[in-house]
Amino acid sequence: MNMDELFLAAQKAAEAAYAPYSRFRVGAALLGEGGAVHTGCNVENRSFGLTICAERTAAVKGISRGERGFTALAISTPDSPDPVGPCGACRQVLTEFMAPGARVRFGGSSPERVDTTIGELYPFDSLHDLARKKTP
């Protein structure tokens, strides 16, 4: 599974988005350590703050299937021409299960893609380092 294929999975996942309030669909695809792909979409709520992002949907789906680490992430935002990166909350949640060097690609409806890493998106993660030191 390469980043192009993972991005295609994210594009497909965006089709299931439940976004009647923002009309902004998001799809995410996480590559599990064993090679399985876990996808997710945003799921909104009439109480707006209860909305869950596509990235966290994908992460909780993967973890609930027994996955414990992800090596790559792709995000598709088909309702924006420009690439849209993950929100701050998702960056922190993803770092729980991704090494800093894990690849991330995001893109919208234009051909432009951003290729980066989770460590670049969430740098100076001292809380993560502290947790790692304390975990047996």
CB 37 within 8 A of CB 30: yes
Complex with ligand THU: residue 47 or 135, whichever CB lies closer: 47
State in angstroms the smallest separation of the CB of 136 from ligand THU.
Answer: 33
Active site residue 55: yes
Q: Which of the residues 15, 33, 55, 120 is marked catalytic?
A: 55
State in angstroms the smallest separation of the CB of 7 from ligand THU.
Answer: 15
CB 43 within 8 A of CB 74: no
Helix (H, G, I), strand (E, B) or coil at 134: helix
Complex with ligand THU: residue 69 or 85, whichever CB lies closer: 85
Q: Residue numbers of the site for ligand THU (CB under 6 A)?
A: 19, 22, 24, 26, 42, 44, 51, 53-55, 86-87, 90
Report how far apart, in Å, the C-alpha atoms of 90 and of each of 1, 110, 133 are.
23, 23, 23
State in angstroms the smallest separation of the CB of 132 from ligand THU.
Answer: 25
DSSP letters of 58-86? HHHHHHHTT---EEEEEEE-TT-SS--PP
The residues assigned a catalytic role are 55
